Structure 1
Amino acid sequence: MPEVSGVRTPVLFISHGAPTLADDAIWTKQLSGLASDLPKPSAILIVSAHWEEAPVALGATTTVPLIHDFHGFEQHYYDVRYPAPGAPRLADAVHKILGGRDTPVQSFPERGLDHGAYVPLVEMFPEADVPVLQMSMPSLNPQELMRMGQKLAPLRDAGVLIVGSGFFTHNLNAINFDNNVSSFMREFDEWGHQALIAQDVDALLDFQSKAPAAHLAHPRTEHFAPLFVALGAGHEELDGARTVVDGFWNGLAKRSVRIA
């Protein structure tokens, strides 16, 4: 376990955007401003919508090349580098917290950060001077992910910033480059906003049944799932949950949340 730092870090859920996020002056400024308001973390533990692996898996603990896991973009998006240090001590701590005889934790030492991890971190911590460890989602089950976040919560007392990186709504068929937003995206976004304000965790956990247009806002749920890791890690301080980025990007809700 990393040493207790004396400063308990907040928890974040970030809507991470595509590689073209770097071209959005408003959104990049929002993410930069969000990071400037945080205590500098000792390390970052990030869960991205783009890595599902069971049992839970950890990425590289040394600096390895990024995973440019997207297709059809201009070359300069593939030229992006983010040489953040690895976080081997954090990896050891996660192994101890989540591992066990019946629940092994896997290691993928060659797996670099995917775009769900590095795209927002480039804007938030551009110096790439904070150690980063990426962890997989072993399931899309909201309850399981929240329990995992709860187990990881003590890492916050060691200055570890726990980040769930997804998208508050995510339906690629609804993307609109003029940013015309469909009614179902607005309805789901507002429902989720109000559920967070009300600390209605039960409704959020059952969002597929409770939220309006849930299956249109999330035809597949992997981009909403990282929110539950964040809710678990911040479960004792949900009264401190607040939106730190809102609005829409190409028709998708980019709501991001800070807890505590």
Structure 2
Amino acid sequence: MEAWLRAVPERLGARPKAVLVVSGHWEAAEFTVNIQNSPPLLYDYSGFPEHTYELEYPVPGSPELAERVQALLARAGYSTNSERSRGLDHGVFIPMKLIYPGADIPLVQLSLRRGLSAAEHVAAGHALEPLRREGVLIIGTGMSFHNMHRFRFDDSALDPDSVCFDEWLAQTVALPPPEREQRLLDWALAPGGRAAHPREEHLLPLHVVAGAAGNDLGRQVFQDRVIGSIQSAFIFGG
């Protein structure tokens, strides 16, 4: 996974002007945008080695991109809020330290909307699609399987529901937009769906990214075994 994340810039080719990240670790009453010039880090985990609380990622924010995100969401009928103190959570700074270790591309974080409606997050992605034509890379971070009670730390066998749901996800992202989005709205009915995500916050960043993909088809670009589950990554376009 580390090697794949480090190779993402080469796969993308063009260097983005800015990055918008939707993480499964931030929920707010309304879609909320971090508008800070220099966002700090939020070490939103416990029980890890001491050095993990000393990690740094001094990436610049982009109030201009944050304002653009809010304007696009408002145009789609969504109220938004601004965040002026919360740090970037580990769903942002951990992968970004590997993808762009120089921390030299402006970055903005967008929250999930409380209530976790699949339809609302796909629609939010639709609203944000113009950003892609403006040189903004939109990243969703979560996990394709996130059931804390079923992770197997001896990695002796794969959870069968993670296998089923991963196959379904790979098939789904590759479909044309209308079919893709309908399946994403009905994700809990998919084989292994609710077992893979007892709570959907780690899946919905994918809904936002898929909504923003427009007519671009998706494809699976990474798969590996992680603590007894299959974990995958997907890209749209490019």
> Normalized against structure 1, the TM-score is what?
0.84
Aligned-partner Cα distance in 2 for 1:111–1:227: 23
Percent identity of equivalent pairs: 36
Amino acid at match of 1:35: P
SS at structure 1 position matched to 2:121: helix
Task: Give the TM-score taking structure 2 as reference length.
Answer: 0.92
> Which residue of structure 2 aligns with residue 52 of structure 1?
27
Distance 1:222 1:84 in 2: 25
**Partner of residue 169 from structure 1, selected from 133, 145, 169:** 145
If asked which structure has higher relative contact order (CA below 8 Å, sep 6+), I would say: 1
8 Å CA contact 2:34, 2:109 repeated in 1? yes
C-alpha separation in 2, matches of 1:203 and 1:102: 24
In the TM superposition, residue 160 of structure 1 has moved relative to its aligned partner by: 0.3
Aligned to 2:223: 246
Q: Is the aligned partner of 1:189 residue 2:166?
A: yes
Deviation at 1:102, TM superposition (A): 6.7
Deviation at 1:99, TM superposition (A): 2.5
Separation of aligned partners in 2, 1:233 and 1:32: 24
8 Å Cα contact 1:83/1:128 also seen in 2: yes
Partner SS, residue 20 of structure 2: strand
Deviation at 1:100, TM superposition (A): 6.3
1:218 partner amino acid: H
Shift of 1:50: 0.5
RMSD of equivalent CA atoms: 1.6
| 8 Å Cα contact 2:76-2:124 kept in structure 1 | no
CA 1:214–1:74 in 2, change beyond 3 Å: closer, same or farther? Answer: same
Mapped to 1, the partners of 2:121 and 2:8 lie a distance apart of: 24
Residue 48 of structure 2 corresponds to 73
User: CA 1:216/1:101 → structure 2, altered by over 3 Å: closer, same or farther?
Assistant: closer
Distance 1:212 1:244 in 2: 21
Cα drift, residue 191 of structure 1: 1.6
2:9 alignment counterpart:
35
Q: Alpha-carbon deviations, 1:34-58, whole Å to 9, x = none?
A: 2222211111111100111121111
For 1:237, the aligned partner's letter is D
Aligned pair 1:137/2:117, yes or no?
A: no
Q: Which residue of 1 aligns with 2:201?
A: 222
- Of 244-253 and 126-135, more deviation after overlay is shown by 244-253
* Structure 1 portions without partners, runs of 5+: 1-26
> Cα offset for 1:193?
1.3
Describe the SS at the equivalent of 2:39: coil
